[in-house]
Structure 1
Amino acid sequence: MMRVKMWKPTGLALAAIAATAAIAVAVPSAMAQRDPAYAAARAAGQIGEQPDGYLGFASTPTPAIRALVQDLNIKRKAAYTERAQATGSTVEQFAFTSGCNLIANTKPGEKYQAPDGRWLTRDGSPPVRNASCP
């Protein structure tokens, strides 16, 4: 029986992934913020950041909002895939670290998903994030 050694990130590797993730999410986020429909849905609390690094629906979406979020999530996955290859991590690891950063960067009044699956509205205090977030 062949044993496969799992890659376990070191503190330095996690820091590199986190730094690269912060840059990678800036591009899709900047593109999204130029879209008035995205800004309106976010301000209305219809969509928010999820711990997995993708946008989610905090309420039942309209077909237009669903299409917008699907498009943005496809763009995020492409960015995560590119950056994960560059850092030697998996897409899932990179997306998770990006999710940590995106939730940390939410503004008061914006929705985000807590690790237990509840949708919360950011207030002035730090958001509730996964204990594994860097």
Structure 2
Amino acid sequence: MNRWFPLLALALGLGLSVPTFAQDPLAGAKQAGQLGERPDGLVGVVPGAPVAAQAVADQVNAQRLQRYRDIAASNGTSVDKVQAVAGQQLIDRTPAGQYVLSGGKWVKK
């Protein structure tokens, strides 16, 4: 285990959530099967989703990427490593019935 992993896990625990104005659209789009979690810690648009889902994904991903950069910088690691840990945590926490990207395909958990 790397020395930064405990700090990263703690930081990702609750600090990864998006601001209030984006929580409802993200949760709603995920529940509707329009967005899903990706292994890189970002959300992706599930095929067949309305165009508006992309705007939600873009907003959430911009916020997440900034948070990942901050965590990486403060822990002396790469953004890719932070994204991989975050992606796994987010996929693990995804409720049954919502989409995750697995093996390059969108699947319901």
> Do they superpose with TM above 0.5?
yes
Contact 2:4 2:75 in 1 (8 A): no
TM-score w.r.t. the length of structure 2 is 0.85
Q: Secondary structure at the match of 2:18?
A: helix
Task: Number of aligned residue pairs: give it.
Answer: 108
Provide the residue aligned with 1:63 in structure 2: 51
Gaps of 5+ in 2: none
Contact 1:83 1:94 in 2 (8 A): yes
Q: After superposition, where does 1:1-134 map in structure 2 within 5 Å?
A: 11-13=1-3, 15-16=5-6, 17-25=8-16, 27-28=17-18, 32-33=22-23, 35=24, 37-114=25-102, 116-122=103-109
TM-score w.r.t. the length of structure 1 is 0.71
Larger Rg: 1
Amino acid corresponding to residue 102 of structure 1 in structure 2? L
Q: % of aligned pairs identical? A: 28
Change over 3 Å in CA distance of 1:81–1:97 after alignment to 2: same
Deviations, residues 10-45 of structure 1 (Å, cap 9, x unaligned): x133633333333442x3276643x2x322211111
Amino acid corresponding to residue 95 of structure 1 in structure 2? Q
Gaps of 5+ in 1: 1-10, 123-134
The structure with more helix, counted as a fraction of residues: 2
CA distance in 1, matches of 2:19, 2:83: 14
Q: Secondary structure at the match of 2:90?
A: helix
